[in-house]
């Protein structure tokens, strides 16, 4: 597998390809280096889980891809975000807003309770989305840029859009979709609201959905329903998903491939089964071991997550790692393959995983 060094397939096959992204945030005590040379690929139709503990930068990466980093505080120092062959960081914000965000890339938020406007009916909010982001709307409004309020919603397109809204609501198993459009958000339960969010994310017929911990606010039996529905809907439509979560169990249920991040660096990327059976990075193994296990033994990871203002040199996990050497303190190696589609960035990958390369 030596020819696989550098990891992954040719970039042309990828829907999204993040390369060496570096983002910092301004804080009172100096810049916090939140993303430190992150690379990530998503193939068409692939569900990729982005896991890591809070503060590891997974939400920042998701926001960078959507182009909604806070303008005053965040700075992109290096890297590119290539989506369908074009670098989003190089495009003008108007083009990204018109053609990409909310159309080719959509978003499912973590908290379905605060993501709807409480004073408008669900139907109004869904149709408002369709007015601007419907797949029937021709690419933007050319050069004219009328103020938004002056643009009308053509009657024929409205009717066609409304029919597809009802179709998607039916697919998302919302009971009585016609009546649901007339209801206010508070009339739906948490699980129903998350179904509505999923429907909204699917409506513009996107190529990529970014889902930010969409089930953490839900109970286990409802979570199981939502995960099942989401996976079924995206697989039917061939939509790619970037699913950020800190819950490894959820990632196991829904993802084809899992990428684990630690303190702004990506550590390992592996197909779901290999990720759980043969983790190659010492951090991944420690993380898996810290899950409550049936034998009743509890194992934690000694030490604390480092400060991003003054992060450790080289591999940011080295102060907590059992296998640390001088090389770890000096630099973080590039990703290299230890198995089929299984890449790791570590000087001392675990033997079990390396042994599996045949």
Partner 1 sequence: MNGGETLLLEVADLVRHFAVRNAFGRRVGWLRAVDGVSLTVRAGETLGLVGESGCGKSTLGKTVMGIYAPTAGEIRFRGREIGRLPTRERRKVAKDLQYVYQDPGASLDPRWKIVHSLHEPLKIHTRLSRAQREAEVQGILRAVGLPDAHLDLYPHELSGGQQRRVGLARILTLRPQMVILDEPTSGLDVSVQASVLKLLRSLQETFALTYLFISHDLAVVRVMCQRLAVMYLGKIVESGDTRAIFKEPRHPYTQSLLAAVPRIGGRRVTLEFSLPGEPPNPRDLPSGCRFRTRCPLVKDVCASEEPPLREVGGHLVACHFA
Cα–Cα distance between 168 and 47 in angstroms, integer? 20
> Would you count residue 34 as binding partner 1 (CB under 8 A)?
no
Q: How many residues does the chain have?
A: 358
Q: What is the CA radius of gyration of the chain?
A: 22
Cα–Cα distance between 120 and 163 in angstroms, integer? 20
> DSSP characters for 75-109?
EEEEEEEEETTEEGGGS-HHHIIIIIBTTTEEEE-
User: Are 280 and 269 within 8 A, CB to CB?
Assistant: no
Q: How far is the CB of 5 from partner 1 (least distance, A)?
A: 29
| Residue of 159, 304, 326, 358 that binds partner 1 (CB under 8 A) | 304
Residue closer to partner 1 by CB (options 82, 287) is 287
> DSSP characters for 222-252?
HHHHHHHHHHHHHHHHT-EEEEEES-HHHHH
Cα–Cα distance between 169 and 224 in angstroms, integer? 19
> Would you count residue 138 as binding partner 1 (CB under 8 A)?
no
> Would you count residue 236 as binding partner 1 (CB under 8 A)?
no
Q: How far is the CB of 153 from partner 1 (least distance, A)?
A: 34
> Would you count residue 296 as binding partner 1 (CB under 8 A)?
yes
| Residue of 153, 158, 276, 336 that binds partner 1 (CB under 8 A) | 276
Q: How far is the CB of 355 from partner 1 (least distance, A)?
A: 18
* Per-residue x/- track, 177-216, partner 1 (CB under 8 A): ------------x-xx------------------------
For CA atoms 26, 31, 32, 35, give the dihedral sign. positive
> Would you count residue 246 as binding partner 1 (CB under 8 A)?
yes
Size of the site for partner 1 (CB under 8 A): 39
User: Are 96 and 88 within 8 A, CB to CB?
Assistant: yes
| Residue of 127, 160, 184, 288 that binds partner 1 (CB under 8 A) | 288
> Would you count residue 164 as binding partner 1 (CB under 8 A)?
no
Residues 297-334 as b/e (b if ≥16 CB within 10 A, e otherwise) read eeeebeeebbebeebbebbbbbebbeebeeebeeebee
> Would you count residue 290 as binding partner 1 (CB under 8 A)?
yes
Residue closer to partner 1 by CB (options 187, 334) is 187
| Residue of 90, 220, 322, 358 that binds partner 1 (CB under 8 A) | 220
User: Are 165 and 130 within 8 A, CB to CB?
Assistant: yes
| Residue of 28, 138, 300, 322 that binds partner 1 (CB under 8 A) | 300
User: Are 160 and 131 within 8 A, CB to CB?
Assistant: no
| Residue of 160, 301, 354, 357 that binds partner 1 (CB under 8 A) | 301
Residues that bind partner 1 (CB under 8 A): 53-54, 189, 191-192, 219-225, 227-228, 231, 246-250, 252-254, 276-277, 286-288, 290-294, 296, 298-301, 304
């Amino acid at each position: 597998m030596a020819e696989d060094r550098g990891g992954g397939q040719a970039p042309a096959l990828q829907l999204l390809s993040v390369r060496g992204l570096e983002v910092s945030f301004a804080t009172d005590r100096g810049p916090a280096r939140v993303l430190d040379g992150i690379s990530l690929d998503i193939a068409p139709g692939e569900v990729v889980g982005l896991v890591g503990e809070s503060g590891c930068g997974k939400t920042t990466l998701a926001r960078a891809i959507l182009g909604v980093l806070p303008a005053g505080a965040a700075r992109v120092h290096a890297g590119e975000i290539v989506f369908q062959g074009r670098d989003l960081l190089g495009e003008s914000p108007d083009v990204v807003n018109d053609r990409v965000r909310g159309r080719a890339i959509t978003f499912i938020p973590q908290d379905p309770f605060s993501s709807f406007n409480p004073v408008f009916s669900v139907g109004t909010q869904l149709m408002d989305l369709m007015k601007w982001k419907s797949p029937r709307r021709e690419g933007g409004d050319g050069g004219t840029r009328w103020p938004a309020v002056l643009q009308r919603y053509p009657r024929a397109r409205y009717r066609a859009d409304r029919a597809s809204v009802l179709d998607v609501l039916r697919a998302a198993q919302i009971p009585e979709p016609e009546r649901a459009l007339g209801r206010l958000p508070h009339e739906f339960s948490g699980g129903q609201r998350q179904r509505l969010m999923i429907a909204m994310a699917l409506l513009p017929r996107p190529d990529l959905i970014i889902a930010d911990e969409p089930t953490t606010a839900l109970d286990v039996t409802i979570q199981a329903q939502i995960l099942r529905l989401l996976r079924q809907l995206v697989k039917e439509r061939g939509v790619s998903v970037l699913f950020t979560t800190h819950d490894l169990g959820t990632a196991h249920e829904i993802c084809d491939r899992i990428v684990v991040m630690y303190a702004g660096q990506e550590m390992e990327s592996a197909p779901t089964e290999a990720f759980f059976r043969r983790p190659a990075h010492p951090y991944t193994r420690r993380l898996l071991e810290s899950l409550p296990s049936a034998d009743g033994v509890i194992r934690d990871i000694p030490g604390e997550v480092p400060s991003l203002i003054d992060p450790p040199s080289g591999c940011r996990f080295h102060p907590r790692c059992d296998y640390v050497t001088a090389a770890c303190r000096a630099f973080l190696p590039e990703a290299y393959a230890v198995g089929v589609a299984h890449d790791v960035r570590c000087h001392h990958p675990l033997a079990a995983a390396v042994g599996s390369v045949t």
